[in-house]
Amino acid sequence: MSIKSILTYLKVPNSISSLASHNELLWLGIMINYKSIQVRNKSFKRYLDYSNVPKLDEADLEEQFIRGSGPGGQATNKTNNAVLLKHKPTGLVVKCHETRSQWDNKKRAREILVTKLDNLLNKERSIEAQIHALEKKQQTQKEYKRKKLNEMKKAFREREGLT
């Protein structure tokens, strides 16, 4: 029997509703609330507002292909696969040389430029700021739960005389 087959989650059918609600999963005989599992591995994408993200106009971009540098030898140093993008209205400059492929570097440079433009123009409403705020909120919730659990443990130890 493989690990995958052992660690699979089985949804509890409604016929066993007396033992567990339909929001719970049976995992190796242990009841686990699957909503809490989903929250732990949740992507922030559904909570982000992408309406303010700036669109790149190709007329506003100045693109140059320059020689790369760094490790990689001749394949890197003698080919023009690094991309230098300049956004004319704002003056932002992005240089990308993450891969050996000029196409991939071109695509990645545009992604980086959009992120920088978003941070510059939207400030606290930018995607990165929204993600940071959500992570901070999640962290404070975790700290609150941890503190509450520690208080409950301390009260239990005092009540049972274990300290």
| SS3 category, 162 | coil
State whether residue 20 is helix, strand or coil. coil
* CATH class for the region spanning 58-122: alpha beta
pLDDT digits (tens, 9 = 90+) for 94-151: 999 999 899 999 999 999 999 999 999 999 999 999 999 999 999 999 999 999 999 9
pLDDT bin (cut points 50, 70, 90) of residue 77 is confident
Which residue type is seen at 91?
G
For residues 38 and 96, the model is more confident at: 96
Is pLDDT larger for residue 1 or for residue 137? 137
Q: Taking a C-beta distance cutoff of 8 angstroms, is the pair 68, 76 a contact?
A: yes
Helix/strand/coil (H/E/C) assignment for every residue in 54-103: CCCCHHHEEEEEECCCCCCCHHHHCCCCEEEEEECCCCCEEEECCCCCHH
CA–CA separation, 97 and 85 (whole Å)? 12
